[in-house]
Structure 1
Amino acid sequence: MLSKTAEYALRATIYIALKGSEENKLGIEEIALGIDSPKSFTAKILQLLTQNNRVISSVRGPNGGFYLTDRARKLPVKAILEAVEEASVITKCVLGLKECSETRPCPMHTQYKNIKKQLKQMFEKTSIQQLVDEFNKGNYFIDNLKGVRKPC
């Protein structure tokens, strides 16, 4: 359902939140390796996420890198999707039709509208920090994150 861009953006943000800080900024190479993503693709995604410090903050130079501020950690997961221009995934027609509505529904509209509502609520109400906290409690794991402690 989510594009590769959105998937990598979510994983990169979680990885940076888990491993980085303002004192310990992470480089593109480490992030790409950590989320199992090509370096050039990771760079493009990070560029979208750092525009105007939207989600991720960055500093250039020898001691530079990427990190999340306390403000960013409080952002809903939806902010990541918006930054990579993928927020429409939670509002558009499941079949990709331009004119799908209550008055002109696609064959899956009725079944999917409740799922879409739940997805929207999940992405709007779950913060980046909540995902990090759940991971740190050992309740969840992300196989693709390398170099991050995985719960037993």
Structure 2
Amino acid sequence: MFSKACEYGIRAAIYIGQQSAELGRRVGLRDVAAEIDSPEAFTAKVLQQLVRAGLLTSVKGPTGGFELTAQQLATVTLRQIVVAIDGGDMLQGCALGLPQCSAQQPCPLHYQFLPIRDQLNEVLRTHTIGELAGKVHDGLGFLKQFT
């Protein structure tokens, strides 16, 4: 449903959030890419987008890396990450991509898709990175599949 970049961005933010909250440490690009099973160069581009949007903090230098402040952990939502990477069209647009889909001119899926889109928006708007990082920390969620 989300682009690959967005999926990686969400997983990276959760991982960085977990490391920031749990260990109070910054995480390097290599570690992030390895932990979320993403190519380094692609991960770097995605993380740059999140930093530019103010959803993630980057510190340069030998003790640098990526982190989420306590404020960011508490306030950055999944919706903000999705919008920063994929834009907001998916969260408000037509299921078939029609530019003028509305109640007055509905597409064939309009009324079936509307509640799904609204529910997705609610989930993305109400869940923070800090909350999801806590689930990973508590073993209630995972960022990587183990075989």
TM-score, normalising length: structure 2:
0.89
After TM superposition, give the deviation of residue 129 of structure 1 in Å.
Answer: 1.3
Cα distance in 2 between the residues matched to 1:23 and 1:136: 13
Identical aligned residues as a percent: 36
After TM superposition, give the deviation of residue 139 of structure 1 in Å.
Answer: 2.3
After TM superposition, give the deviation of residue 60 of structure 1 in Å.
Answer: 0.6
Q: 1:10 is matched by which residue type in structure 2?
A: I
Alpha-carbon deviations, 1:25-71, whole Å to 9, x = none? 1111111111111111001001000116x111011111110000011
Alignment of 1:132 onto 2:140: no
Alpha-carbon deviations, 1:7-34, whole Å to 9, x = none? 0100010110112369521111111111
Give ranges in structure 1 of 5+ residues lacking alignment. 147-152
2:68 is matched with: 68
2:57 is matched with: 57
- Contact kept, 8 Å, 2:58 with 2:66, in 1: the verdict is yes
| RMSD of aligned residue pairs (Cα, Å) | 1.8
Give ranges in structure 2 of 5+ residues lacking alignment. none
Q: 2:63 is matched by which residue type in structure 1?
A: N
TM-score, normalising length: structure 1:
0.86
2:10 is matched with: 10
Cα distance in 1 between the residues matched to 2:32 and 2:142: 17
